[in-house]
Chains A and B, each alone.
Chain A
Amino acid sequence: MVRALDLKLIRDLWRMRGQAVAIAIVLAAASATFILSMGVHRSLFETREVYYSQNNFGDVFASMTRAPRSIVARVAEIEGVQRAEGSIVQYAILDYPDRVEAVRALLQSFDEYGRNRLNLVTLKSGRMPAPGQPGEVVVDEAFALANNVRLGDEVDAIIYGRKQRLEIVGVGLAPNYINALAPGDIVPDESRFGIFWIGREALEAATDRTEAINTLTVTLQRGVSEADVIRAIDRITEPFGGTGAYGRDNHPSHMFLQSELDQLEAMVQVFPPVFLIVSTFLVYIVLGRMIRTQRSQIGLLKAFGYSDLSIAWHFLKFALAVTVLASILGAIAGIWMAREMTELYARHYHFPILQFSFAPSVFVGAALLAAFSSGLGAISGIWKAVRLTPAVAMSPPPPPVYRSGAVEALGQKAGFTAIGHMIVRHIARWPGRSAITVSGVALSIGLLFSTLHFIDASHFMLESYFFRSQRQDISITFTEPRNNDVIHELRQIPGVLRVEPVRGLSVEMSHGNRVERTALEATPPDAILTARIDEKGELVAMPRGGLMLSKQLADQLGVSAGEDVHVAMLGGRRTEAMMPVGALVDEFIGARAYANDQTIAELARDGAPVGSAMMLIDPLYREQILTKLKAMPVTLSIGDRDLEMSRFEAMIDENINTMMAFYIGFASAIAVGVVYNSSRILFSERAHELATLRVLGYHRSEVAVVLIGENALLVAVSVPTGLIVGHWLAQFMVMMFSSDLFRLPFAPTNATYAKSAIIVLVAALLTSVLVARRVMGLDMVRVLKARD
């Protein structure tokens, strides 16, 4: 048997279903974004942790030019090291005769006798290469899928300048290549770059490195200082061209994934709170209004002997009912979105299996947050209901008192009509509620603005990187530093219009107690193919002496222009120097350092090695040039600017469009929820006045102006407010989403201002009109019979 009071609750809910649903949708958006971010974060994080531990992902990694295998045993003896393994990695160019663009592979050796324990390969199909079969390889799954590679396929590879035929015997993946980026690339491209696992003996033979290694992977014992072990490893590898050991934090694959996890965490901090705040406000105004209209009923219930507690609980249940609905809607939307997102991640990150895992705690957390925010909104109304004494409650509430005020003078000066006065004075009479409407709609505009700004920021970054700073058609990275001869050689190729060398050194920079590894690059003084462009698109000149640091790197080092940094070469002659920072450049991608040719030559002391070259070509010769470059033994990788750019654009579009659809929907939901509720309250408060106007001979459309006019005025105030909020939110998000890998610029386009305002305006207007249509059904006679 349902208690009478609960029946009342059910009927109140049914009567106010529109408003209850409108609040529930905003609250559901909070739950959904919470579930999305937390759920995907958790799925990704847990999948990674399981994968790392099952496949023994290393803790510390080191590279060197070439070291005898015997150093592995020395490294294993370092205190705190659990296990050490050495291997060879070698880039190779794959020869697909029917493909013009260069396809590259990173050959990663492994022990064909099964003695490897670290960075284990998980086979998806086929088998590992057998001992004594030098041509057998396992390819990574993404490459296999992107290039339609099947077991038994063969491909010619140019390894260490020699052509060798490879047979694919398996498809697999490993935790050190969850995200595999080709050298010189900024976006993963699995169709042009793959990881090939090949037997150790086979790779030793192919690269003339018998019983030698060039990489180390180490796992640590629990509680060991990583820094101590890194120092110890560096001492051992130094004589063999060691470029310095590093932990997971600097491991490229791990770093990429970690930045994604950080972004998901950032999302949790931005989106759900906005929705929660708005829902709290909505519950506050809707329940507050409901309690005001039920004043005499509350008095009656109290007179009958219902306790304050049971009345408080009765109204709290209203808020909780909305929460339950919101939690269900939010869970459905959240699961759906989280699955979409996880699928997206599964395409970019190579895990044995990545699925959205249903973590009950995430759902419970979302529901608790929703309950907390609607409960918070309910408190003030409930408190008022509790404080009413029966006698006071049963007498009609005092009429709203209007007085002449500041608004008054304004209205008189502006020559308002009586209707105009009604609109403006009502806003002034209920400043709190008006402020809630304004801030709700403003938040919705802000959210939309900051979301749309993501597209702007990405495109600006793209534009800045590809159109302004990179003007070459093709870039070529060499297997090892060359001298200027290679540049002359490139210039001889028919169709090559210009070649500019890029000299680069791997360095470790330190300032105070901060240390960063980076590439120090130099281009000739007359270079035109690469330029250092700052945030505003201006060219930044290379300082005569000293370094130019990207702002990102300067921030990481905590250094500003005019200060000195300590620069130590990694590998090579290992020279060290204190160098002044001459200028900073605001770049979006990477954290790099630049210097002029001479500075690099002084530091390197060996005529400044050419690591890569930028080329301008005649498009008619494109195929011939690419074919020629592919065949050169010095070629490590070939970058094609147009291809990279379209690849980058595709990645942005794919990732962002999905999210964009979600957030446009959510932002509109806020606008609809806020405007719907404030319109409904406005309508119920003013029904009596509106009916009076109808009786006096006002047409329905003229009466609707009172409703729509108030909303229109509030929404008009929301637009500039919303754009300010949007600016702030966008800047906050740009900050939260920037990682060591790239930095998003704050660069909103005019279209973003217009779109975010227009979408919300349309949503608000439609909602307002929907409610104003109630004027059609206004029963003049009944309304006038009742005393207001």
Chain B
Amino acid sequence: MEASVPPRPDAAADSAFLGRDLTKIYVSGETEVHALRGVDFEIRKGEVLVLLGPSGSGKSTWLNVVGGLDRPTSGTLQYDGTELTTLDERDLTRFRRANIGFIFQFYNLIPSLTAEENVRLVTDIATDPMPAAQALELVGLADRRHHFPAQLSGGEQQRVAVARAIAKQPGVLLCDEPTGALDSSTGVRVLETLAKTNHELNTTVLIITHNVGIAGMADRVYHFLDGQIARIESNSHKIAPAEISW
């Protein structure tokens, strides 16, 4: 990716993201919504970070800004030494294309493409992707690769989404409520895939969830409240997804 801004001196060598005083204000009509109020944070490469907090606390906005889907109103944000806030639309798209894998609550698969083709959507444009078939194998869906989304269960669809996200071997996986629409056993399978990716590919994994139990598998937990990180928790003992109580 194009580095248009030199790394700031205080950036730690092993940090994936480094945010300083990030604010985001939405103006809707005559009212202003302060979604982020001066957030500072540092996310380390290869860590699993879980974001908890009530609805409207700013965690989705934060995730969108970090993922390059949205721009902060003020503040700075670096990824791997590159300042993101000054990138234009084209470079921000390149940043997402190269580094970020997204997983959403409602899967967002393209209904007209089969499982494998949904993965190929990403491998078609990535620089050093793994074969689509391999990504599907990683999520345990090798035998379902020619099925269309409408022919797959919710959990299977979400695993296709995970395969799609990991196929390009991204530096970061951003997951917005990845298990929100799934039952517990399916949810666990998805989380296991995420943990496996983190472990095997050293991918940084950021997970937004309402499910406090998921916090157990994180290295650290950010608690969001009123547009700020109210509290950061570190887990000395990570638990396996299978042990998470739903």
Assess whether B90 is in contact with A699, with CB atoms less than 8 Å apart: yes
B236 contacts the other chain (Cβ, under 8 Å)?
A: no
B100 contacts the other chain (Cβ, under 8 Å)?
A: yes
A395 contacts the other chain (Cβ, under 8 Å)?
A: no
In the complex, which residues of chain A have a beta carbon less than 8 angstroms from the beta carbon of B110? 418, 422, 689, 692-693
Assess whether A697 is in contact with B93, with CB atoms less than 8 Å apart: yes
Assess whether B96 is in contact with A422, with CB atoms less than 8 Å apart: no
CA distance A425 to B113 in the complex (A): 8
Number of interface residues of B (CB under 8 A): 35
In the complex, which residues of chain B have a beta carbon less than 8 angstroms from the beta carbon of A699? 90, 93
Which residue of chain B has the shortest Cβ distance to A788 in the bound complex?
B106
Please judge, given known A-B contacts A404-B146, A693-B121, A698-B93, whether A784 and B108 are in contact too, CB under 8 Å. yes
* 8 Å CB contact of A399 from B69, B93, B111, B146: B111
CA distance A696 to B96 in the complex (A): 7
Task: Looking at the assembled complex, report how far the CB atom of B149 sits from the nearest CB atom of chain A, in whole angstroms.
Answer: 7
Assess whether B106 is in contact with A402, with CB atoms less than 8 Å apart: no
Which residue of chain B has the shortest Cβ distance to A702 in the bound complex?
B125
B97 contacts the other chain (Cβ, under 8 Å)?
A: yes
A628 contacts the other chain (Cβ, under 8 Å)?
A: no
B135 contacts the other chain (Cβ, under 8 Å)?
A: no
Which residue of chain A has the shortest Cβ distance to B101 in the bound complex?
A696
Assess whether A401 is in contact with B94, with CB atoms less than 8 Å apart: no
Which residue of chain B has the shortest Cβ distance to A785 in the bound complex?
B60
Q: Is the interface of A mostly helix, strand, loop or mixed?
A: helix
In the complex, which residues of chain A have a beta carbon less than 8 angstroms from the beta carbon of B173? none
CA distance A507 to B122 in the complex (A): 83
Task: Looking at the assembled complex, report how far the CB atom of B40 sits from the nearest CB atom of chain A, in whole angstroms.
Answer: 23
A426 contacts the other chain (Cβ, under 8 Å)?
A: yes
Complex interface bits, A323-343 against B, C-beta within 8 A gives 1, otherwise 0 = 000000000000000000000
A11 contacts the other chain (Cβ, under 8 Å)?
A: no
B211 contacts the other chain (Cβ, under 8 Å)?
A: no
A421 contacts the other chain (Cβ, under 8 Å)?
A: yes
A235 contacts the other chain (Cβ, under 8 Å)?
A: no
B102 contacts the other chain (Cβ, under 8 Å)?
A: yes
Interface size bucket, A side?
20 to 34
Task: Looking at the assembled complex, report how far the CB atom of A497 sits from the nearest CB atom of chain B, in whole angstroms.
Answer: 76
CA distance A404 to B146 in the complex (A): 9
Please judge, given known A-B contacts A402-B150, A403-B148, A697-B93, whether A418 and B70 are in contact too, CB under 8 Å. no
CA distance A230 to B111 in the complex (A): 78
In the complex, which residues of chain B have a beta carbon less than 8 angstroms from the beta carbon of A417? 120, 124
For chain B residues 194-246, which have a beta carbon within 8 Å of chain A? Answer: none
Assess whether B112 is in contact with A402, with CB atoms less than 8 Å apart: yes
Assess whether B96 is in contact with A695, with CB atoms less than 8 Å apart: yes
B98 contacts the other chain (Cβ, under 8 Å)?
A: yes
Please judge, given known A-B contacts A421-B113, A784-B108, whether A695 and B102 are in contact too, CB under 8 Å. yes
Task: Looking at the assembled complex, report how far the CB atom of A244 sits from the nearest CB atom of chain B, in whole angstroms.
Answer: 75
Which residue of chain A has the shortest Cβ distance to B164 in the bound complex?
A696
Most buried by A among B69, B112, B146: B112
CA distance A688 to B109 in the complex (A): 10
A400 contacts the other chain (Cβ, under 8 Å)?
A: yes
In the complex, which residues of chain A have a beta carbon less than 8 angstroms from the beta carbon of B96? 695-697
* 8 Å CB contact of A421 from B93, B104, B117, B122: B117
A592 contacts the other chain (Cβ, under 8 Å)?
A: no
B169 contacts the other chain (Cβ, under 8 Å)?
A: no
B23 contacts the other chain (Cβ, under 8 Å)?
A: no
Which residue of chain A has the shortest Cβ distance to B67 in the bound complex?
A695
Please judge, given known A-B contacts A399-B149, A693-B121, A696-B122, whether A422 and B102 are in contact too, CB under 8 Å. no
Please judge, given known A-B contacts A695-B96, A781-B69, whether A787 and B106 are in contact too, CB under 8 Å. yes
A780 contacts the other chain (Cβ, under 8 Å)?
A: yes
Task: Looking at the assembled complex, report how far the CB atom of B180 sits from the nearest CB atom of chain A, in whole angstroms.
Answer: 11
Which residue of chain A has the shortest Cβ distance to B63 in the bound complex?
A781
Assess whether B148 is in contact with A401, with CB atoms less than 8 Å apart: yes
CA distance A401 to B151 in the complex (A): 8
For chain B residues 105-144, which have a beta carbon within 8 Å of chain A? Answer: 106, 108, 110-114, 117-118, 120-122, 124-126
Assess whether A697 is in contact with B64, with CB atoms less than 8 Å apart: no
Which residue of chain A has the shortest Cβ distance to B161 in the bound complex?
A692
CA distance A702 to B122 in the complex (A): 13
For chain A residues 397-435, which have a beta carbon within 8 Å of chain B? Answer: 399-404, 417-419, 421-422, 425-426, 429
Task: Looking at the assembled complex, report how far the CB atom of B187 sits from the nearest CB atom of chain A, in whole angstroms.
Answer: 18
A694 contacts the other chain (Cβ, under 8 Å)?
A: yes
In the complex, which residues of chain A have a beta carbon less than 8 angstroms from the beta carbon of B64? 781
Complex interface bits, B143-180 against A, C-beta within 8 A gives 1, otherwise 0 = 00010111000000000000010000000000000000
Please judge, given known A-B contacts A399-B149, A402-B148, whether A421 and B112 are in contact too, CB under 8 Å. yes
Task: Looking at the assembled complex, report how far the CB atom of A221 sits from the nearest CB atom of chain B, in whole angstroms.
Answer: 76
Task: Looking at the assembled complex, report how far the CB atom of A452 sits from the nearest CB atom of chain B, in whole angstroms.
Answer: 38
In the complex, which residues of chain A have a beta carbon less than 8 angstroms from the beta carbon of B104? 784
Assess whether B117 is in contact with A418, with CB atoms less than 8 Å apart: yes
CA distance A610 to B118 in the complex (A): 86
CA distance A399 to B104 in the complex (A): 18
In the complex, which residues of chain B have a beta carbon less than 8 angstroms from the beta carbon of A702? 125
CA distance A400 to B109 in the complex (A): 12
Task: Looking at the assembled complex, report how far the CB atom of A164 sits from the nearest CB atom of chain B, in whole angstroms.
Answer: 88
In the complex, which residues of chain B have a beta carbon less than 8 angstroms from the beta carbon of A400? 111-112, 150
Assess whether B113 is in contact with A698, with CB atoms less than 8 Å apart: no
Task: Looking at the assembled complex, report how far the CB atom of A699 sits from the nearest CB atom of chain B, in whole angstroms.
Answer: 5
CA distance A399 to B107 in the complex (A): 13
Assess whether A426 is in contact with B112, with CB atoms less than 8 Å apart: yes
Which residue of chain A has the shortest Cβ distance to B108 in the bound complex?
A692
Which residue of chain A has the shortest Cβ distance to B99 in the bound complex?
A697
7 pairs of A and B residues whose beta carbons are closest in the complex: A697-B97, A425-B112, A697-B96, A418-B121, A692-B108, A401-B150, A418-B120
CB pairs A–B below 8 angstroms (28 shown): A399-B150, A400-B150, A401-B150, A402-B111, A417-B120, A417-B124, A421-B112, A421-B117, A422-B110, A422-B112, A425-B112, A426-B112, A689-B111, A692-B110, A695-B96, A696-B96, A696-B97, A696-B125, A696-B164, A697-B93, A697-B94, A697-B97, A697-B125, A698-B97, A699-B90, A700-B89, A780-B69, A784-B104
Residues of B near any A CB (own CB < 8 A): 60, 64, 67, 69-70, 89-90, 93-94, 96-98, 100, 102, 104, 106, 108, 110-114, 117-118, 120-122, 124-126, 146, 148-150, 164
5 extra interface residue pairs, beta carbon distance < 8 Å, beyond A425-B113, A692-B110, A693-B121: A692-B108, A694-B93, A695-B96, A702-B125, A787-B106
